[in-house]
Amino acid sequence: MFDGSLKMSFHTLYCPSHLASNLNKRRTQYKTRSGPAQAVLPSAVLLHTDKSSNSSESKRNPGSGLSPTSSQITSPLLSQANAVGIIGGVSAVSTLNFLEKLISWSLQYGEENLPFIVCNDPILNKELLSRERSSLPYLNVRNARSQLDHTSIVDNLQHKRVFLEQSGARCIVMPCHISHAWHSELSKDCSVPFLHVGDCVAHELKEAKLKPIEAGSNLRIGVLATDATLTAGFYRDKLQSQGFEVVLPDKDTLEHTIIPAIEALSRKDLEGARNLLRIALQVLLVRSVNVVVLASDDMRGLLPKNDPLLKKCVDPIDALVRSTIKWAQSTEKLHETC
């Protein structure tokens, strides 16, 4: 996925994993506590959790120790005007997929010097995943952790947002569907632009100037996601704000295709999950939707790239990548003219 020559300097801080990267052609030297280390294109610094951060104090307050205070950060890690801060999602794999696209697509768009810093916390990954599963009783998640206090998740995300701001990020993004359930809370008092994945995909679909499949009817967009993401409702709200009629899976589709598909996926029955997903997509498409917003990393990865149904689907995270690159380009041009 990344160039095998990528070398990382490790710094132990009392904060979760953070990956700061500056994609430039110059070799950059970082100093660790034990000594200097060379990094080649793309240069990177990984800041990871010290084992001692798993203390009783941290357990008492999930927000404490998740990010350094302003006194701990003496100077920003990044100083570029187009630096991007990224809060990871339900897994490191999904975050890395976002990074892979951000890097490769930015190069295609001519953005060769895109600086970014990534915050990936395994504890938060598990909490977000539990949040998605908490509304799915078939997974039989009935322990105390399944009854999540959303406040702790929001506090965790909030600390990461503040850390990224203090680290020099001039724009914040979250390549995670369920995290956007709390976007309005997280973006409150944020000092930099905080892109919303729902806005990104809704604006792209608006700019596509699609025409209704049925003459005289509204332009319909389907949304297929996990129950937790559908319940949050932000994709529906963002699409409706752009004038689209939003078509969601009905109760029968949820109970007989989507939920069993995720259940099959948890059993590693990929073929079964794939067939059920195809049925769910076809049910939406026969309701005269132009495209289906496939707002699930797991579902998106089920279908092979040459599957005809994928041509009728759009990935919101792809829209977030493109919007991030456009923001970086416009910001860079603005500062070049100043």
- For residue 331, CA distances in Å to 62, 80, 171 come to 35, 10, 10
Given a cut of 70, is residue 195 above it in pLDDT?
yes
pLDDT tens-digit readout, 68-122: 444 455 688 899 999 999 999 888 999 999 999 999 999 988 877 789 999 999 9
CATH T-level assignment (fold) for domain 200-315: Rossmann fold (3.40.50)
Average pLDDT of the residues in 169-173 = 98
- What fold is seen in the domain 8-54+62-194? Rossmann fold (3.40.50)
Q: What six digits make up the tokens of 115?
A: 């600086």
DSSP 112-126: ---EEEEEE-HHHHH
For the entire predicted model, the pTM comes to 0.78
For 41, residues 6+ apart whose C-beta sits below 8 A from its C-beta are 3, 5, 23, 24, 25, 27
Can you state the angle between helices 197-207 and 234-241, rounded to 10 degrees? Answer: 40
Domain ranges of the chain: 8-54+62-194, 200-315
Q: Do domains 8-54+62-194 and 200-315 have the same CATH topology?
A: yes
Whether omega for the bond prior to residue 42 falls within 30 degrees of 0, making it cis, is: yes
CB 212 within 8 A of CB 219: yes
Mean pLDDT over each residue of the chain, to the nearest integer: 78
Structure tokens at 19: 């990956």
Mean pLDDT value of segment 46-75 = 42
Model pLDDT for residues 199-209, shown as the tens digit of each residue: 999 999 999 99
Residue in the block written with tokens 């970014």: 116
**308 alpha carbon, distance to own chain's centre:** 25
pLDDT tens string 125-138:
888 887 776 555 43
* Token reading at 301: 């990865």
